[in-house]
Structure formats: structure tokens, C-alpha cells
A = this chain, B = another copy of it.
Amino acid sequence: MEKPPGSEIEIFRDFIKKKGLRYTPEREVILREIFNIHDHFDVDELYLRLRNKGHRISKASIYRTLPLLIECGLVQEVYHEDGHMHYEHIYGHEPHAHFRCLSCRRVEEFRDERLEEVAREYAERYGVEIKMTRFEILGYCSSCRGEEG
């Protein structure tokens, strides 16, 4: 049941402790479920998955836990669509950008090191400290292009 050192569990527990907060079962269950989802997700989907597994975690707790997971770098806001935010776990994954089709809504991930380079150089030049970066391409995928007009 114990996760090895350096795992998301340990990172989260250390973060919680360091902030003087309490490491609760609810917080751990939310974290575990998020790392079971290997896709982008929203609050409602996460909530339903937890319920379907028999957990009685309130949405309020999810809304309270997400900012903590983001603050400690395990989770990111990916994009805002259909009036609500979509998230993904990022710990253990390489940084990546997203292409979103405006027609079929498919989301593709891709990696390009030049993006990190751009961010790194900006940080260097202006003396800012980077917490995260986000690069999105919105458009029409190869199947959907041509249908817009």
C-alpha cells in the first residue's frame, strides 16, 4: 500500500505537512484517483469515478483539493472548455503541448523542446520564476478540416 519515495503520494504528503495542513484519507483518495486517470478530466468526471468506486467524497472536497495539487506541481489546469476547467496529472510526464480540434473536440498532445526553451529564455531575461507553461493550438484536425465554412 505504501508508495516508494518520490511518488506522488509522498510528494503530496510532504507538501501538506510542510504547510501545516492535515493529510486526510479524502485527500489521498482524490490524489490516487487523479493518477489513475490517464487522460484529461474535469471535476464532474472525477467525482463520478470516485462515487462509482464507492467513495463518498463531496465535490466541495474535490474543489478544495485541486488547488493544493496544483500548488505542489502534481496537477495542472489544461484548458477551459464548455464552461469549466479541465485538468491532468503531470508528475511523471514530460511537458507537452495540446492541439484541440474545434469541431470534433479531440485533444492531441505533442512535445516540442523549443517551447521550454522560449519559456526559459523569457524567465532568464526578465528575472521571473516559472511555475508552469501552457501551449495550445486550436484549429481543425485533418478529419474535420474543410467542414467549418
Contacts and interface: CB of A to CB of B under 8 A. Distances in A.
A17 to B, nearest CB: 14
A94 to B, nearest CB: 15
Copies in the complex: 2
A119 B114 CA distance: 11
Contacts of A119: 137
A29 interface: no
A131 B149 CA distance: 13
A106 to B, nearest CB: 10
A42 to B, nearest CB: 13
B122 A142 contact: no
A135 B132 CA distance: 11
Given A122-B99, A122-B110, A131 B127 contact: no
Contacts of A118: 97, 112, 114-115, 135
Nearest to A110: B122
Given A101-B128, A126-B142, A134-B134, 10 more contacts: A77-B80, A80-B85, A123-B137, A123-B139, A127-B142, A128-B137, A128-B140, A131-B138, A132-B138, A135-B135
A147 to B, nearest CB: 10
A82 interface: no
B130 A134 contact: no
